[in-house]
Amino acid sequence: MDSQSITKKKRDANIELLRIVAMLMIITLHFNNQSKALLVLGEPASNVQIFATVLEAIAITGVNVYVLISGYYLSSSKVKLSKVLLLILQVYFYTLLISCAMMFVGAYSVKPEDKLDRALRYLFPISSEHYWFVTAYVIMYVLAPVMNAAVNTLKRKQLKTVIIGLLTWFCFIKSIVPVKFGTDRMGYDFGWFICLYLIAAYIRKYNVVLFIDAKKSALVYLVSVVVIAAFSLVFYMINLATGNFNYYAEVPCHYNFFFALTGALGLFSVFRFMRLKENLLAEVIRIIAPYTLGVYLLHMHFEIADRWVEWIEHIIGETPLDNALTFFIHLVVSVLIVFFAGIFVDWIRKYIFNFFGRVLGDTKVFRLIKRVDEDLC
């Protein structure tokens, strides 16, 4: 997640590839939702909706994997003020400039009565949860030094106990109890991110080998996908027949559902075992991966999140909801368009940031930030 970190050591190409895969999975989730391809409780299912539900099960681990990668690396690095500020500035780059661009071209969609609320979301994107993911991530990032201190201080058994306790609270109970608890945010909050961070930190500190080898890790991921899809379809059918389980029918696709966690750990483990050759492909992966956060910030901006599927339909035609194969082809093309458009825009953003960094690098503000970074280290 830390798209701004620069290290002397080369990034692990296998984990960077997983970062790319995770973002493609996240875009897939958003496409399924925005294209209205998912099951609707109480309504008969089409073949495309069933197929999209299976795709949802395959992709739902993407967010958890993205956060696991963050925890895996942040837990062994120094948290710097400059990195936090760069992340926040990156968010503002998208929230403000996209809004201004939409106004300029006459595509701004805010109703008059919503202008104040939307302005606050653009001016205070972290506090207002313009991007829920970024809000949760920034809080997790700020707490990273505290969590790192705990990871480095606690004994292994103590740390394991803390993780199990948090998982019991955030994951285990909600996965089996068919009612919604007041504290359950379905994984859309920093509490769940802290759980994932500590799990990843534990794995890194003790070099935990998950699921023995790559094949068994892949099996864990595939079994998790099957269980998520099966739960989703079974409880959908129960709800269709009885009207019951309105809440629990959607639980299998919550980020803090038990099998969404095991699926993420299985996939993460697969890529940890993977060893990519040091060639051109590995370098391309390392170049592309740091821009993936920009892909999210672009297509999930308030002015774009509900409209990008429609815009792509103007280019490649309407989303086919009557045939699973043509729907899948349309989805793949749409996801790739969004992904590479986001990579390109964030490449431009980074070029602009680097320019201002060179121009303003010797100012009082920048020198102060550097001194704070040195003090924190």
**Mean pLDDT, residues 280-301:** 95
Query: Any idea what DSSP says for residue 248?
Result: G
Amino acid at 224: S
User: Does residue 278 have a pLDDT over 80?
Assistant: yes
Give the mean pLDDT of 259-266.
98
Torsion sign over Cα 325, 64, 14, 228: negative
Give the per-residue pLDDT at 3: 39
Backbone region of residue 278 per phi and psi (left: phi > 0; alpha: psi in -120 to 50; beta: other values): beta
- Mean predicted confidence (pLDDT) in 8-21: 87
Measure the N-to-C terminal CA separation of the chain; round to a whole number of Å: 21
**pLDDT for the residue 249:** 94
User: Quick check: 1 pLDDT over 60?
Assistant: no
* Residue environment code for 112-135, b if the CB has 16+ CB neighbours within 10 A, otherwise e: eeeeeebeebbeebbebebbebbb
H or E segment and range at residue 11: none
User: What pLDDT is stored for residue 216 in this prediction?
Assistant: 96
Q: Residue 146: which residues within 8 A CB-CB, separation 6 or more?
A: none
Q: Looking at residue 373, what is its pLDDT?
A: 79
DSSP 8-state class, residue 168: I
Binned at pLDDT 50, 70 and 90, residue 9 comes out as low
pLDDT of 88 reads 93
Say yes or no to pLDDT of 377 above 60.
yes
Instruction: Give yes or no for residue 320 having a pLDDT over 60.
Output: yes
- For residue 362, pLDDT beyond 50: yes
The candidate with the shortest Cα–Cα distance to 249, out of 43, 67, 72, is 43
CA distance 58 to 50: 13
Whether 82 has a pLDDT exceeding 90, the answer reads no
Helix runs in the chain, H state only: 13-34, 47-59, 62-74, 81-104, 115-123, 132-153, 156-167, 173-176, 190-205, 214-242, 258-273, 280-288, 292-299, 308-316, 324-360, 364-376
Cα separations in angstroms, 34 against 130, 158, 299, 305, 335: 17, 43, 12, 8, 12
Burial classification of residue 277, based on how many CB atoms lie within 10 Å of its CB (0-12 exposed, 13-18 middle, 19 or more buried): exposed
What's the whole-number mean pLDDT along residues 60-77?
A: 94
pLDDT at 316: 95
Q: How much is the mean pLDDT over the chain?
A: 91
Query: What's the CA gap between 128 and 137, in Å, rounded?
Result: 14
Name the nearest CA neighbour of 137 among 82, 67, 206, 198. Answer: 67
